[in-house]
Structure 1
Amino acid sequence: MRIAALQMRAIPGDSEANLARIAAAAADAAAGGAKLLIAPELAVTGYGAGEAFAQIGSPASGVVAERLGAIARENGLAIVAGFAETDGGERYNSALFTDGIGTNAVYRKSHLYGDYERHWFRPEAPGSIMVELGGIRLGMLICYDVEFPENVRRLALAGADLVVVPTALPKGTSGTFIANHMIAVRAFENQVFVAYVNHCGADDHFTYAGLSRIAAPDGRLLAEAPAEGETLLFAEIRPEDFARSKAENTYLYDLARQI
């Protein structure tokens, strides 16, 4: 299965503009043969929306899901995109999977990063949200979640082939290390594909690292974006191509033997 990842410069608080950008990327992704488009953390609202989160949040089955579902349906692909989810009086930093034809799933971020996220969002207990697309089992995490190895391992043990990680990685030394080293290690140590999809540019609150990455089970990068500028990455997700890597690096099998 071919996937696409949108490194995006979102406009904080302008959901219409951000949805239009995702729609344009979906058309380009579909033209490039992709069956899945991944957009960054809080791509619909902009990560730096701040006070606007209170006005532009949406329920899991609300207008954001409807709009992303329509974009997916019109382009014949599935979409994963971050949004601010409202549920009663609570707000979550969430990612929606939709194929536009009846399969929706929402993952809520479990590990909130810093005072900014803790002010605007409620954390969810760690869990394994899984869907199947084109014969690929897909699990979801958001940004800081991937920096805790237990989260990726949990999805791998649940049978994930691909872990998608919408993110808002900030620019800096640690961000560069995460993108250039940690993502490939997470893929290698769990024998899964990892798609880590970031913002670029800056807003009033944050400057983003860019450096989106798609890593393979053997630790190789299948696609990588620069630090600056929007770009659409493509990669082929073929688990059978990595049978040799799984045979050599039997972490999950050996772990199961000890449980």
Structure 2
Amino acid sequence: MRIAALQMHAIAGDGEANIERIAAAAADAAAGGAKLLIVPELAVTGYGAGEATFQRLASPATGEVAARLSTIARDHGIAIVAGFAEQEGTLTYNSALFTDGIGTNAVYRKSHLYGEYERNAFKPGVPASVMVELGGIRLGMLICYDVEFPENVRRLALAGADLVVVPTALPKGSSGTFIANHMIQVRAFENQVFVAYINHCGADDNFTYAGLSRIAAPDGKLLAEAPGEGETLLFAEVRPEDYARSRAENTYLVDLGRPG
């Protein structure tokens, strides 16, 4: 299955402009043969929008944002994973929506919130294995900081994920560079899964983003990578059968259940 990912310069607080940008990327991704488009953490609101704006733009899991993204997916014949602020009653979650536009929707809530900025704005979700199937590929979702805890990726791998999609908002700096250039490939290798780690680029009033979006394969190699600056639409082929040899050589998941 061919997938696409948009390293995106979201406009903080402008949900309309951001949804239009996602729609344009969906058209380009579909034209390039992709069956899935991934965009960053809180792509709909912009990560730097701030607590008050998150609450103002938050939408229920079955609300307007989900409906509009589903329509975009249906119109272009492509599934979408997009970060948004989710409202449930009086609570706001940092969430990611999967929609294929033809009836399959799933929402994952970020379980590990990063720093006071996120903890002041959102309620953490309960760690969960949110999984969907697309084109024979089993897809699991995490968000940003979640992937830095190896247990989260391992949980999805043990649940049968082939591909872990990670919308992110990685800030510019030495730690961000290390995560993008080393940790993502390690997470893919140690769990024998594909990992798509898709970031913002540019800056807003609160943050400057690292870019450096990555799509890694089960053998640890990069299938696609974006630079530190500028919007980029990445494409990669996700074919688990191509990595049978890697899985045979690196039997981490099987060996978890074997006595020492």
Report the CA distance between 1:13 and its aligned residue. Answer: 0.7
> Do structure 1's residue 54 and structure 2's residue 55 form an aligned pair?
yes
Structure 1 equivalent of residue 17 of structure 2: 17
Q: Deviations over 1:151-202 (max 9, x none)?
A: 0000000000000000000000000000000000000000000000000000
Q: Deviations over 1:193-236 (max 9, x none)?
A: 00000000000000000000000000000000000000000000
Identical-residue share of aligned pairs (%): 82
Structure 2 equivalent of residue 111 of structure 1: 112
Q: Deviations over 1:53-105 (max 9, x none)?
A: 12100000000000000000000010000000000010000000000000000
Once residues 254 and 230 of structure 1 are traced to their aligned partners in structure 2, the CA distance between those partners, rounded to angstroms, is: 41
Q: How many residues align?
A: 259
> Do structure 1's residue 125 and structure 2's residue 123 form an aligned pair?
no
Structure 2 equivalent of residue 4 of structure 1: 4
TM-score (norm 1): 0.99
Once residues 60 and 131 of structure 2 are traced to their aligned partners in structure 1, the CA distance between those partners, rounded to angstroms, is: 20
Once residues 208 and 76 of structure 1 are traced to their aligned partners in structure 2, the CA distance between those partners, rounded to angstroms, is: 30
Structure 1 equivalent of residue 190 of structure 2: 189
Once residues 7 and 246 of structure 2 are traced to their aligned partners in structure 1, the CA distance between those partners, rounded to angstroms, is: 28
Once residues 217 and 101 of structure 1 are traced to their aligned partners in structure 2, the CA distance between those partners, rounded to angstroms, is: 30
What is the RMSD of the two structures over their aligned residues, measured on CA atoms? 0.8
Report the CA distance between 1:257 and its aligned residue. Answer: 2.1
> 1:138 corresponds to which letter in structure 2?
L
Structure 1 equivalent of residue 250 of structure 2: 249
> 1:187 corresponds to which letter in structure 2?
A
> 2:39 corresponds to which letter in structure 1?
A
Report the CA distance between 1:125 and its aligned residue. Answer: 1.2
Once residues 251 and 258 of structure 1 are traced to their aligned partners in structure 2, the CA distance between those partners, rounded to angstroms, is: 13
Structure 1 equivalent of residue 217 of structure 2: 216
Once residues 193 and 162 of structure 2 are traced to their aligned partners in structure 1, the CA distance between those partners, rounded to angstroms, is: 5
Structure 2 equivalent of residue 74 of structure 1: 75
Once residues 177 and 115 of structure 2 are traced to their aligned partners in structure 1, the CA distance between those partners, rounded to angstroms, is: 18
Once residues 63 and 15 of structure 2 are traced to their aligned partners in structure 1, the CA distance between those partners, rounded to angstroms, is: 13
Once residues 55 and 35 of structure 2 are traced to their aligned partners in structure 1, the CA distance between those partners, rounded to angstroms, is: 33
> 1:236 corresponds to which letter in structure 2?
E
> 1:45 corresponds to which letter in structure 2?
T
What SS is found at the alignment partner of 1:66? helix
> Do structure 1's residue 63 and structure 2's residue 61 form an aligned pair?
no
> 2:228 corresponds to which letter in structure 1?
A
> 1:159 corresponds to which letter in structure 2?
G
Q: Which runs of 4+ in 1 moved over 3 A?
A: none
Report the CA distance between 1:258 and its aligned residue. Answer: 3.9
| Structure 2, unpaired ranges of 5+ | none
Once residues 257 and 195 of structure 2 are traced to their aligned partners in structure 1, the CA distance between those partners, rounded to angstroms, is: 22
TM-score (norm 2): 0.99
Structure 1 equivalent of residue 141 of structure 2: 140
What SS is found at the alignment partner of 1:204? coil
Structure 2 equivalent of residue 173 of structure 1: 174
What SS is found at the alignment partner of 2:256? helix
1:235–1:61 Cα change, 3 Å: same
What SS is found at the alignment partner of 2:219? coil
- 1:74-93 paired onto structure 2 within 5 Å: 74-93=75-94
Report the CA distance between 1:256 and its aligned residue. Answer: 2.1
Once residues 54 and 12 of structure 1 are traced to their aligned partners in structure 2, the CA distance between those partners, rounded to angstroms, is: 13
Once residues 259 and 142 of structure 2 are traced to their aligned partners in structure 1, the CA distance between those partners, rounded to angstroms, is: 26
